[in-house]
Structure 1
Amino acid sequence: ITHEKLRPRISQTAKGLWGVYGMLSLILCVLLWIGPLNFFDSICHAFSTMSTGGFSTRNNSIAYWDSNYVKIITTIFMFLGGVNFSLLYKICHGEGLKSLFRNDTFRAYLKIVSLTFVAFVIAIVANGQAHTVADVTIDPLFQIITTITSTGLTASNFESWGPFVLALLFLLMFFGACAGSTSGGAKIDRMLYLLKNTSNELYRSIHPNAIRSVRINSMIMSPETVNRVIAFLCIYVIIVAAGGIMLTAFGLPIVDSFFSVFSCVSNVGLGAGVTGYSGYGFEVLPDIAKWVLSVFMLIGRLELFTVLILFTPAFWSK
């Protein structure tokens, strides 16, 4: 849904984006090395953070170091990993922050993070989990960013914040961050397509002869693109529903089943309940459940159509 050509040749565009990615990874590695991490851990977590992969060299992930410095630095770079790299490229080449804040998707990204942060803080206070300043500042922001960017690093037991937080995490895992970033999920761009198209359809219900189009970043999107996005989101929901039902058949609680499928399809990696922070992780799942989730992770990473098209007769007839 985003194929922005930054340079005359696609190879030049690719090299430019790789340059931005490599520069951010190097800066993050140095910043982590300055802190409590050794050089090996710094390299591993720099690669894991910028790729929003979420792998850690420690069983407790970021929580192992119990360092607010590490959480803050990691949060900043996870956030950058969720931004369209084309925008970061433009900033690095002198276009300034104005181009960033003129982008509809980035503005939506900021709004989602800000509103969710307020909701998290209210939930944490309401559940009596606000013991330190970090409990209502660094920890919820870290959890929001690590979820929406599909990184999946953990620094606290978010399950103790209440079921409302879990419900919000479902939404964050579903939509993910910006298209053109390293994050998973359905992407905020598609959410904007859906919301604007829905608004247009509601308007046409009142004014049947009105002609309205979906505009993203002042550009009119073609009806074919809008239809493809809506189809993508419908298939996404169907796959999550099917996966959740399949896991319940293997004996998992219903909330844990759907959370695990959401997490895998969106490539987040967070667990809840038996697979969560206070549980034993995904290793407790039956082998057949691991196979199912592995397939869902592959489908989610390749963004549905790439995999599902293999099961259409028209693909093989050619």
Structure 2
Amino acid sequence: NAEVTGITHEKLRPRISQTAKGLWAVYFVLSAALCLLLWIGPMDFFDSVCHALSSMSTGGFSTRDDSVAAWDSTYIKIVLTIFMFLGGVNFALIYKAGTGNFKGLLHNDTLKAYLRIILCMYIAFAVTIAINGQANSISSVTIDPLFQIITTISSTGLTVSNFENWGSFIIALLFILMFFGACAGSTSGGAKVDRLLYLLKNTNNELYRSIHPNSIRSVRINDSIIPPETVDKVIAFLCIYVMIIALGGMVLTALNIPLVDAFFSSFSCVSNIGLGAGVTGYGGSFEVIPPAGKWILSMLMLTGRLEIFTVLVLFTPAFWSK
């Protein structure tokens, strides 16, 4: 229950072991397909295996210092963009689609929100890049921004160019993508699009109740009514998530790391993305962070990966009294 990312976890098959095998099958098939497609392109077999495992797990490690930019291949960018997108989709939906059940895909609120966010962000990225005079080629306003959006929202963290040159507004948009991440039940980090939907729908209900105090409204996701205790847990999660990011950023500033760089690094590590900006960005790395800062960022990464409550429960007296 703690390891599966998200809020509620559905069974694909009657037995939990069958569900686990189904999810492993999805992961293996997608990884093998990505490896083959990369090998067909300019990558050798070793690089293909490494990048396939790194992309489907949305881990983001690369065998090259320049990441994907080392190959300067539009083909590789397109293939990785597609599979990073799939890595951010709930694997239960991919499993159902693989077994011929496409109804869940068409009526899933989270998947539709995931697609809308990517579309809106792409428009904002392309317009900003053009306004800032960074539209040097067709790929710079097509595949490059789309790649950067999906690598960020899926928490993969691969890069194809110096996105800092695109302007401060792009950095602000990346903060939003890093915060919410992709879908629950995927390999992505972040708070998850599902929780964003819960928050927005609950906020809308509260605004409506402020005008109509006697009304009774519930949060509905995928035509199902969400229990109030689940909504409360989501709100608590998001509040704690923000506080942890803020605390991490403040501690890093106390270690003489620039303000924006400190909070960007804190954001990046809690969301398990690994992108850097400023001193940790393009041409730099987290190597410049002092040892105490590395300990802080390591703890933030662990906390974000285990979805916060799993870690924070260790610090409650009730846990140790049992």
TM-score, structure 1 normalization:
0.99
Mapped partners of 1:151, 1:255: distance in 2:
21
Output aligned runs, 1:86-235, within 5 Å: 86-96=92-102, 98-235=103-240
Pick from 283, 295, 300 the counterpart of residue 296 of structure 1.
300
Displacement of 1:99 in angstroms is 2.1
> What SS does the aligned partner of 2:176 have?
helix
Mapped partners of 1:219, 1:188: distance in 2:
17
Displacement of 1:277 in angstroms is 1.0
Pick from 274, 284, 289 the counterpart of residue 288 of structure 2.
284
CA offsets per residue over residues 41-91 of structure 1, 9 Å max, x none? Answer: 000000000000000111111011010100000000000000000000000
Q: One-letter code of the match for 2:312?
A: L
> What SS does the aligned partner of 2:72 have?
coil
- Percentage of identical aligned residues: 72
Mapped partners of 1:2, 1:143: distance in 2:
29
Q: One-letter code of the match for 2:245?
A: V
Displacement of 1:148 in angstroms is 0.2
Mapped partners of 1:128, 1:241: distance in 2:
33
Cross-structure match for 2:59? 53
Mapped partners of 1:95, 1:236: distance in 2:
35
CA offsets per residue over residues 193-213 of structure 1, 9 Å max, x none? Answer: 000000000000000010000
Q: One-letter code of the match for 1:73?
A: V
Q: One-letter code of the match for 2:179?
A: F
Pick from 60, 65, 78 the counterpart of residue 71 of structure 2.
65
CA offsets per residue over residues 112-146 of structure 1, 9 Å max, x none? Answer: 00000000001101110001000000000000000
Cross-structure match for 2:318? 314
Which ranges of structure 2 fall in alignment gaps of 5 or more residues? 1-6
Structure 2 residue 14 is matched with structure 1 residue 5: no
Equivalent pairs, count: 316
Displacement of 1:317 in angstroms is 1.0
Mapped partners of 1:227, 1:210: distance in 2:
19
Mapped partners of 1:4, 1:292: distance in 2:
34
Mapped partners of 1:238, 1:28: distance in 2:
37
Which ranges of structure 1 fall in alignment gaps of 5 or more residues? none
What RMSD in Å do the two structures reach over aligned CA positions?
0.6
Mapped partners of 2:43, 2:187: distance in 1:
24
TM-score, structure 2 normalization:
0.97
Cross-structure match for 1:252? 257
Mapped partners of 2:175, 2:9: distance in 1:
28
Q: One-letter code of the match for 2:310?
A: T
Displacement of 1:2 in angstroms is 2.6
CA offsets per residue over residues 15-43 of structure 1, 9 Å max, x none? Answer: 01100110000000000000000000000
Q: One-letter code of the match for 1:86?
A: A
Mapped partners of 1:158, 1:147: distance in 2:
11
> What SS does the aligned partner of 2:60 have?
coil
Q: One-letter code of the match for 1:92?
A: G
